[in-house]
Amino acid sequence: MQRHKARAAVLSAIFMGLGQIYNRQFIKGLIFIAVEAAALFYFITNLGRAFWGITTLGESPSRLEKVKGIAKMVPGDHSIVIMIESLITLLFLVLFLIVWYMNIRDAHKIGAERETGRPSNTFKQSVRYILDYKFAQSFLLLPGIGILFFTIMPIIFMIMLAFTNYAAPDHIPPARLVDWVGFETFRNLLVLKSWSHTFYGVLTWTIIWAVLSTVTTYFGGMLVALLINQKGVRFKGMWRMILIIPYAVPQMISLLLMRNLFNGQFGPINQYLGYFGLGGLPWLTDPFWAKVTVIIVNMWVGIPVSMLLIMGVLTTIPRDMYEAAEVDGATNYQKFRIVTLPMILFSTAPTLIMQFAGNINNFNAIYLLTAGNPVNGNYQYAGSTDLLVTWLYKLTLDQNKNNMASAIGIILFIIVAGFSLYNYRRTKSFQEEDMIQ
C-alpha cells in the first residue's frame, strides 16, 4: 500500500505511461506511451546521426568523378545542413527528456495521492483541472516551443558557427567541409592585426555613435518638450504636430530622403550653401563629415520620440512640488534641477538605456544613409561609418566570412546585454519602483 508512488515512478521511468496505467489513469497512460513510441521511432532513426554530425560536421565533401568518361558530381556531406539537422534532433531530445521527467513526476504524485486514500483523477477530471488551474501554462507551451525553435535555436546555431572555420574561400560546403576550430576565430578577431585593427576601429566608432546619438536625441527631445511646455508658448498643439512629423514619416523614407539631400554632387543642401557663397561639404564622402551627417540625421528622426516621451512625463509631475519650491524661493533653473530633471530621469532611465542599446545595433540609420561608406582602406570589408552590426552584415552576405560574423555577433550581444543588465539594476526606477504610485 505504501509503495504506489515508488512503483509508479519506476514504471514511468522504464517506459512512459506505465506508471499512469499502474495508477489506473489509462487514457493518460496511453497518451504517454504513444509519445514515447513516436520518440523512439524518431530517435532510433536520427539520434546516432545527430551525434555523429555534431561531432564531425561531415566526412566526405561533394566531388567530381568520372563515370564512363563523363564527369559527374557526386553529392557529399553538407556541414551546415548536418549541423542544423543535428541541432534540431538534440533539441527534440531535450524536449523529450523534459516530458519524460514530467511523466515520472506525475506518476509519483498520483501514486502518493493513492497512498493517502485519494482516488486517481479520471481523464475528464484531469482535463478539467488543466482548464481551471493550468490554462495559462498550457497555452504558453505553444509560443514557448516556437521561441525555442525560431529564436533560441538560431542563436545556438550562430554561437556554434563562431567555433568553426565556416568562411570563404576554403570552407564553403558542399565542395569544402567545415571543421571545429575552437576559439581560433575569436583569437584572430581580437589579436590578428589584419582583423583586430578593423574590429577595434569599428568598435570605437560604434560606442562613440551610441553615446552621441543617445545623448543628442534624448536631451534634444527634452529641450523641445520643455520649450513647448512653457506657459507663454501659444499654439502648443500646432508645435507638437509640426515637431512630430519626422516621427510620423516611416524612418526608411526619411533616411533615404536625407541621403539625397546630403548628396555632395546634386544634393539641395550643398546647392543652398552655394547660393550664400559657401562651398559645398563632402557630407557622405569624407569620413569625418559622414559621421557628423549620420548623427545629425539621427537627431532628426530621434528627437520627436524623446520629445513625446518626456512630454508625457511632464504631465505626471505633481504641481504641488513646484508650488513648494516656489514657496522656498526657488528660481526656474532650481525648479528644473531639483524637481523636473530628477522626475524625468526617474521615469525615463530604462528607456534611455534601451535607446543606447538600440543605437549600438542601429542598422537602419547607418546602412540606409551611408551603407557604411566612405570606404576605409585600412579596414577589412568595413567602411568609415560602419557599426559592428553593419560590418557583421557585410561579412555574412557579401564576403561569406560567417564564422567571423558570428564571433562579432556574440561579442556584440555580450556588450549590449552586459551594459543593459548592469545599468538597469543601478537605476532608481528599479531600486525604488514603488516611488510613484
Note down pLDDT in tens along the chain; length 437 residues. 557 889 999 999 999 999 999 998 999 999 999 999 999 999 999 999 999 999 999 888 888 887 777 888 888 889 999 999 999 999 999 999 999 999 999 999 999 988 888 888 888 888 888 888 888 888 888 899 899 989 999 999 999 999 999 998 888 888 889 999 999 999 999 999 989 999 999 999 999 999 999 999 999 999 999 999 888 888 888 888 888 888 888 888 988 999 999 988 888 999 888 888 888 889 999 999 999 999 999 999 899 989 999 998 998 888 888 888 888 888 888 988 889 998 998 888 888 888 998 999 999 999 999 999 899 899 989 999 999 999 999 999 999 999 999 999 999 999 999 988 888 787 776 666 555 44
Give CA–CA dist 178/164, Å, rounded.
7
User: Which part of the chain is CATH 1.10.3720.10?
Assistant: 193-434
pLDDT at res. 71 = 81
pLDDT at res. 1 = 53
- In this structure, the number of other CB atoms found within 10 A of the CB of residue 143 comes to 10
Contact criterion met (CB below 8 Å) for 290 and 373:
yes
Give CA–CA dist 137/50, Å, rounded.
31
Give CA–CA dist 64/109, Å, rounded.
61
The residue written with cell numbers 563515370 in the block is: 67
pTM of the predicted model over 0.85: no
pLDDT at res. 280 = 82
Going by C-alpha positions, the residue among 254, 253, 287, 427 that lies closest to residue 356 is: 427
pLDDT at res. 4 = 86
pLDDT at res. 437 = 45
pLDDT at res. 346 = 87
pLDDT at res. 115 = 87
Task: Please tell me whether the peptide bond between 143 and the residue prior to it is cis, using omega within 30 degrees of 0.
Answer: no
pLDDT at res. 31 = 94
Class of domain 193-434: mainly alpha
399: left (phi over 0), alpha (psi -120 to 50) or beta: alpha
Give CA–CA dist 60/177, Å, rounded.
8
